[in-house]
Amino acid sequence: MRNCNHRGHTIFFGNRPKIIASATVAGPKECAGIVGQYVDRPISDDMFGEDTFEKAECKMLSVAIDQAIRNAALERKQIDVLFSGDLLNQIISASFAARDFDIPFLGVYSACSTMSESILLAASMVNAGYAVRAVAATGSHFASAERQYRYPLEQGTTRPPQSQWTVTGAGGCVISSEGEGIAIVSGTMGKVVDFGVTDVNNMGAAMAPACADTLIRHFRDTDTQPEDYDLIVSGDLGALGSRILKDLTWEKGFDVSSNHVDCGEIIYKVIEDEFQGGSGAGCSAVVFNSYIMSKLISGQFRRVLFAATGALLSTVSSGQGESIPCISHAVELVR
Amino acid sequence: MRNCNHRGHTIFFGNRPKIIASATVAGPKECAGIVGQYVDRPISDDMFGEDTFEKAECKMLSVAIDQAIRNAALERKQIDVLFSGDLLNQIISASFAARDFDIPFLGVYSACSTMSESILLAASMVNAGYAVRAVAATGSHFASAERQYRYPLEQGTTRPPQSQWTVTGAGGCVISSEGEGIAIVSGTMGKVVDFGVTDVNNMGAAMAPACADTLIRHFRDTDTQPEDYDLIVSGDLGALGSRILKDLTWEKGFDVSSNHVDCGEIIYKVIEDEFQGGSGAGCSAVVFNSYIMSKLISGQFRRVLFAATGALLSTVSSGQGESIPCISHAVELVR
């Protein structure tokens, strides 16, 4: 006898696992913007007391996980599994952060879609009774991303207008089968979509088709329309990518123009400096776990579709002439 | 009301999802050894017709996934989700392989423990009814690993005696709620364990404590003893790491000395050349999906505990003086 809890590639979480707490850490540039008043641990020094950018990134992630557990009024030993990943080679931020916790760790990677992939998997485990409480978390750091993916900061390379700024920040949430919180109702798994974009400074254009693919499949699998959601949140398409997303979904008969926001587009206050806005796994992690979660808890939003977006390239793949495969995983949240 | 399908950090798959088919691709050095007669696609040229090692690695993984689906007599569209990851920065082999398939993709990373993490997650999804059929796959390539983690091959660096040889190969399996096959009965999630080893040429010693931790938790959570299994398979501890594993488990009252094998220790025929044996995500992927699966299907083994092992370091973490955090995820298989 088949036990079927999915339709198409959307999973339905009938036991309604809940996000019972979340937490964020963010740098000064990030805290100057829309998320500032919601961030648990604003940091003034982007080295966060460490001697390398990578260690600072890892520490932010560790602090976000720890704070999310504290915000849930839980102890670490009450968490059954941690899902986390990040942009650094071999996801060292997540692996080294996990070392700080005596909690089973399932490492994931979907670049800047890691926040929603982690939530989707954590909700899957909790809904199925494999875990009572799980943590989903990720983060990024501007300086570690620049030197790994682009140029040494000291070089002062000029940024093209279609580029985005990697967010310095981390966010995490506790997903539980017990307690009150924001229910995770469904999750739509992303497919790899590659429209042949090769410009590594134009991630928004590369990622928009993957996000559109996931959103459209979500609407079809769940028999919903964009207007059924108070907010449809993409990860870090930025301003240009968001316009492309609206066009691509509109072409398929789904108009998201009135209720779509992009975490990358809204995170920074002074948009001129960062061109298309924020990016990085920490972008959607910080916006979701601070601003979006606060608005869900307050009741300003009652139903949100969160689709973080990731570009699955590396410096090696780009150096070998490959285009940029992208992905977007989505989760539906209901107050 | 709580829906509980776990004890400690071991998940019980009550619906008995099954591995209905598997497939492997492996290079000439690998096929000269114990797995040779079981490999679906032995390759004589380790470039596999591609112009870079990384593209060859990706192609091997793609072929292994495709062959596993064919071996299950399925079409690609019948697969609901692919779990995969690999050792290359940003798991590009898995991401680019996933681009070849119109299947949802959940990227994972636990270094050389990726095969068992992928099986554990795929079994979780199938058991819970979130997917009817899932694929779990990973691979590695000696040459891409050498130039990413160690030295350019052209340099001809001398290898120390405690080093291992990264396997050129890939393996994957189809996990289904329908059909006949090898049942996945339980899975024990690994924790990050770091005993302070900093020698990147001595991965076996670094990983053995993580493997011991997972095995011991598995025995306790499932009320079993080592002798309840026909075979206890670790991933790529190599000869030295295997001896350490036996000591560490024996100290805690579990004697695995009579029925433990390590994929790294057994994969190569001429052990002298490769010092401690094989390593890499492809090591346990190839041995498990060819040799171990064949012996399970033939009935020579009836109950196997498979615990692939991963070292969660990067060149950056080692360069910054960090020790090597390790992990091992385990799955229990029953004919």
Q: What is the model's pLDDT at position B1?
A: 37
Q: What is the model's pLDDT at position B272?
A: 57
Rounded to 5 degrees, φ, ψ at B22 are -145, 170
Residues B128 and B14 reside in one and the same domain: yes
Strand bridging mode B133-140 / B81-84: parallel
HEC string of B88-152 equals CHHHHHHHHHHHCCCCEEEEECCHHHHHHHHHHHHHHHHHCCCCCEEEEEEEECHHHHHHHHCCC
Residues A324 and A203 reside in one and the same domain: yes
Residues B143 and B40 reside in one and the same domain: yes
A5 CB neighbours in chain B (<8 A) are 128-130
Residue B15 to residue A9, Cβ atoms within 8 A: no
Q: What is the identity of the amino acid at A24?
A: T
The answer to whether B204 and B312 are in contact (CB under 8 A) is no
Whether B1 maps to a domain, the answer reads: no
Q: What is the model's pLDDT at position A153?
A: 85
**pLDDT-derived band at B274, boundaries 50, 70, 90:** low
Whether A1 maps to a domain, the answer reads: no
B313 CB neighbours in chain A (<8 A) are 90, 92
User: Could you tell me how many residues make up chain A?
Assistant: 335
Q: Of B127, B158, B176, which marks where a domain is finished?
A: B176
Tell which residue, A47, A141, A136, A140, has the closest CA to residue A98. A136
Does the predicted model carry a pTM greater than 0.90? Answer: yes
Tell which residue, B235, B316, B248, has the closest CA to residue B277. B235
Residues A127 and A268 reside in one and the same domain: no
> Can you read off the two tokens belonging to residue A335?
């107050």
Residue B191 to residue A106, Cβ atoms within 8 A: no
Nearest-CA distance A273 → chain B (Å):
28
Q: For residue B218, how many C-alpha atoms fall within 13 Å in the half-sphere facing its CB?
A: 31
Whether A68 maps to a domain, the answer reads: yes
Residues B171 and B186 reside in one and the same domain: no
DSSP state for residue B78 in the 8-state scheme: G
A314 CB neighbours in chain B (<8 A) are 88-90, 92
Task: Measure the CA–CA gap between B123 and B187, rounded to whole angstroms.
Answer: 9
The answer to whether B20 and B175 are in contact (CB under 8 A) is yes
Residues B34 and B95 reside in one and the same domain: yes
Task: Measure the CA–CA gap between A242 and A245, rounded to whole angstroms.
Answer: 5
Residue B98 to residue A55, Cβ atoms within 8 A: no
A124 CB neighbours in chain B (<8 A) are 124-125, 128, 130
Among B5, B107, B317, the residue with its CB nearest the CB of A108 is B107
Residue A187 pairs in a beta bridge with A11, A331
Residues A45 and A116 reside in one and the same domain: yes
Tell which residue, B239, B225, B237, B238, has the closest CA to residue B305. B225
Interface contacts A/B by beta carbons within 8 Å: 194
Residues A54 and A125 reside in one and the same domain: yes
| CATH number assigned to the domain comprising residue B276 | 3.40.47.40
Number of domains, chain B: 2
B105 CB neighbours in chain A (<8 A) are 189-192, 327
DSSP state for residue B170 in the 8-state scheme: E
In chain A the first and final C-alpha atoms are separated, in Å, by: 33
Residues B204 and B296 reside in one and the same domain: yes
Q: Across all residues in chain B, what is the average pLDDT? A: 94
Residues B39 and B147 reside in one and the same domain: yes
Q: What is the identity of the amino acid at B145?
A: A
Residues of chain A with pLDDT under 50: 1-2
Task: Measure the CA–CA gap between B61 and B280, rounded to whole angstroms.
Answer: 13
Q: Of A148, A176, A204, which marks where a domain is finished?
A: A176
Q: Of A157, A176, A195, which marks where a domain is finished?
A: A176
Whether A87 maps to a domain, the answer reads: yes
B130 CB neighbours in chain A (<8 A) are 5-6, 11, 124, 128
Q: What is the model's pLDDT at position B273?
A: 60
Tell which residue, A130, A282, A188, has the closest CA to residue B17. A130
Instruction: Please tell me which residue of chain B has the smallest CA distance to A50.
Output: B320
> Can you read off the two tokens belonging to residue B159?
């290898």
Whether B65 maps to a domain, the answer reads: yes
Whether B326 maps to a domain, the answer reads: yes
Residue B192 to residue A312, Cβ atoms within 8 A: no
Nearest-CA distance B14 → chain A (Å):
11
HEC string of B265-277 equals HHHCCCHHHHCCC
Residue A224 pairs in a beta bridge with none
Which structural domain range is residue B327 located in? 182-334
Whether B64 maps to a domain, the answer reads: yes
Q: What is the identity of the amino acid at A100?
A: D
The answer to whether B253 and B45 are in contact (CB under 8 A) is no
A320 CB neighbours in chain B (<8 A) are 52, 54-55
Nearest-CA distance A143 → chain B (Å):
14
Q: What is the model's pLDDT at position B269?
A: 72
The distance of Cα B31 from the centroid of its chain, to the nearest Å, equals: 17
Among B15, B92, B320, the residue with its CB nearest the CB of A55 is B320
Tell which residue, A68, A126, A113, A105, has the closest CA to residue A87. A113
Whether B248 maps to a domain, the answer reads: yes
Residues A152 and A209 reside in one and the same domain: no
Nearest-CA distance B32 → chain A (Å):
30
Residues B11 and B150 reside in one and the same domain: yes
Tell which residue, A330, A327, A325, has the closest CA to residue A310. A327
Nearest-CA distance B289 → chain A (Å):
21
Q: What is the model's pLDDT at position B156?
A: 83
Nearest-CA distance B99 → chain A (Å):
5
Whether pLDDT at B187 is above 50:
yes
Q: What is the model's pLDDT at position A1?
A: 37
Mutate to test the interface with B, among A185, A191, A192, A326 (most CBs of B within 10 A): A192
Residue ranges with strand state E in chain A:
6-7, 10-12, 18-26, 41-42, 81-84, 105-107, 133-140, 165-166, 169-176, 182-188, 231-234, 260-262, 278-279, 303-311, 326-334
Task: Measure the CA–CA gap between A256 and A244, rounded to whole angstroms.
Answer: 11
Query: Mean pLDDT across the stretch B139-154?
Result: 90
B103 CB neighbours in chain A (<8 A) are 191
ipTM confidence score: 0.97
The dihedral of CA A272, A276, A282, A284: what is its sign? positive
Task: Measure the CA–CA gap between A279 and A207, rounded to whole angstroms.
Answer: 11
Q: What is the model's pLDDT at position A162?
A: 80
